[in-house]
Amino acid sequence: MHILIANDHGAVELKAAIVAALSAKGHTVDNLGVDGPDSVDYPDRARLAAERYLAGGYDFGILCCGSGIGISIAANKIRGIRCAQVFDLYTAEMCKRHNDANFISFGGRVSYPVPVIEMIEAYMAAEYEGGRHAARVAKIEAGG
């Protein structure tokens, strides 16, 4: 898969671990995030990633900040982006199956019950079900 990832200073280590794990599995990961502790604004990273994704060529995106909340909110302000903050294997799977999420987010300062890479793999293995969920996703895209 061709994946993009972006992060702020609150998730440098998490981003590096994700990139390493996905690359080791043969995926192409484009890093649009930062690699050091200097403060950056997560809305800027979210916008950069969203614009790159919407230009085409990516299967999905991963966003990371300290909590995973702010960067997800910022991404969801951009038309065409459906970013789900993922907490466990269930939310990782269902955000794809029911909401057709094209981005997932994580927090670099969050302790998760399962490894983040396992949640990413659960997301990647899931398929959007469409059907009764399609009308709901259309309402999300329409802004209501």
Q: Of residues 64, 65, 83, 95, which has the active-site annotation?
A: 65
Q: Of residues 9, 83, 95, 98, which has the active-site annotation?
A: 98
**9 has catalytic annotation:** no
CA angle 111, 72, 2 (to 5 degrees): 90
Return d(Cα 4, Cα 50) in angstroms, integer.
Answer: 9
Q: Record the tokens describing residue 120, joined without a space.
A: 């990413």
Q: Record the tokens describing residue 39, joined without a space.
A: 């403060």
DSSP β-bridge partners for residue 30: 4
**2 has catalytic annotation:** no
| Catalytic residue set | 65, 98
